[in-house]
Structure 1
């Protein structure tokens, strides 16, 4: 797993619904310490510290109010573009096709625009498919990061590190 894949994997974990089991899992700390990008490592570590310092009930409440009750900070990346319009369903079909073409068919109940799923995919998929997925969702990811920053939300730390990793990943391929 290269550096970018590690960043995407860790970000995928940190953006999941909070559970004490993964928050306190030592393997997550170990993976963080292996990141070469110290800026991203620092952002993720600050967020993990935030998780460890707060009660699970408060973390869950923050997560739900941030991602489930706000259209501006939803982790469903096509929502900001299409809302609940019919075109969103067509976008889902195209995204599912991208997953399938990369060798990762999704279950019928999985929404292909869910950010943690997209990041998990990018951590294991061939680079050309990860790159294409990020090109499709870059605007929505940047918009989510900006909304979290404006709200001074702790999840901005993860999104900032995530965006840094994506930008670096996309620029690396432009240079080669």
Structure 2
């Protein structure tokens, strides 16, 4: 008996899923909450693997007071190292190599004609998903795959914490190929050892001449 595999998402569906996930991983302010009807319409056009968890998170936004959403966001992403939204942190921690990794993200955005706001680092997952959805789908997907192990650790950490944002990561990883043996090994190492540490000033990823100290994901807060 022949089993037919389901077709994968189209490029348009990938872009829509990443755009919605990008917005839902941002700070839950009034602007995001006002976009819920539009986001629900977009989610309704997605395959179930991505659409169902995103719809579940939208249900959470509907049923949770704004103040509680904001407090939970800060407690989740600003005070838990393993729930960090900065992808290069998982691969390089606070080491000099992270500065070069950040430069690669910035160069990818510039090549696509996108200028990043100075207030955000280029490896923030919401920024990467926005780039993948609206800038360069193929290059954005490649950046996500290069940091597949970090994405998986983030997803597992959110799931273990019982965080509603785990559903958003479920949707993102549903748009990517399954973990390979190499990535599974990398995830296992991250779980056991955590990101690398090096208490030094990092090489700038921009155009400045002095050392750059990147924000500590545990201490950074949202205004």
Per-residue deviation, 1:137: 1.8
Unaligned runs of at least 5 residues, structure 2: 1-10, 179-223
Aligned counterpart, 1:95: 105
- Distance in 2, matches of 1:106 and 1:157, equals 27
Deviation >4 Å, runs of 4+: none
Distance between the aligned counterparts of 1:109 and 1:20, measured in 2? 20
Deviations along 1:5-45, one digit per CA (max 9) or x if unpaired, are 0000000011111123322432112112222x023211111
TM-superposed CA distance for 1:106, in Å, is 2.5
TM-score (normalizing by structure 1) = 0.87
User: Number of aligned pairs?
Assistant: 167
**Corresponding residue for residue 145 of structure 1:** 155
- Find the counterpart in structure 2 of residue 34 from structure 1: 45
With the length of structure 2 as denominator, give the TM-score of the two structures: 0.69
The answer to whether the 8 A contact 2:145-2:176 is kept is no
Instruction: Give the number of the structure whose alpha-carbon radius of gyration is greater.
Output: 2
2:30 is the counterpart of 1:20: yes
Distance 1:109 1:45 in 2: 29
**How far apart are the structure 1 equivalents of 2:59 and 2:109?**
33
Distance in 1, matches of 2:142 and 2:65, equals 38
Task: State how far apart, in whole Å, the 1-side matches of 2:151 and 2:77 are.
Answer: 13
Larger RCO: 1 or 2 (CA < 8 Å, sep 6+): 1
> Which structure 1 residue ranges, 5 or more long, are not aligned?
169-176
Q: 1:9 aligns with which of 19, 25, 39?
A: 19
Question: When you count helix as a share of all residues, which structure comes out higher?
Answer: 1
Distance in 2 between residues matched to 1:65 and 1:76, nearest whole Å = 16
How far residue 103 of structure 1 moved from its aligned partner, in angstroms, is 2.7
- Relative to structure 1, the CA distance from residue 54 to residue 108 in structure 2 (aligned partners, 3 Å threshold; closer, same or farther) is closer
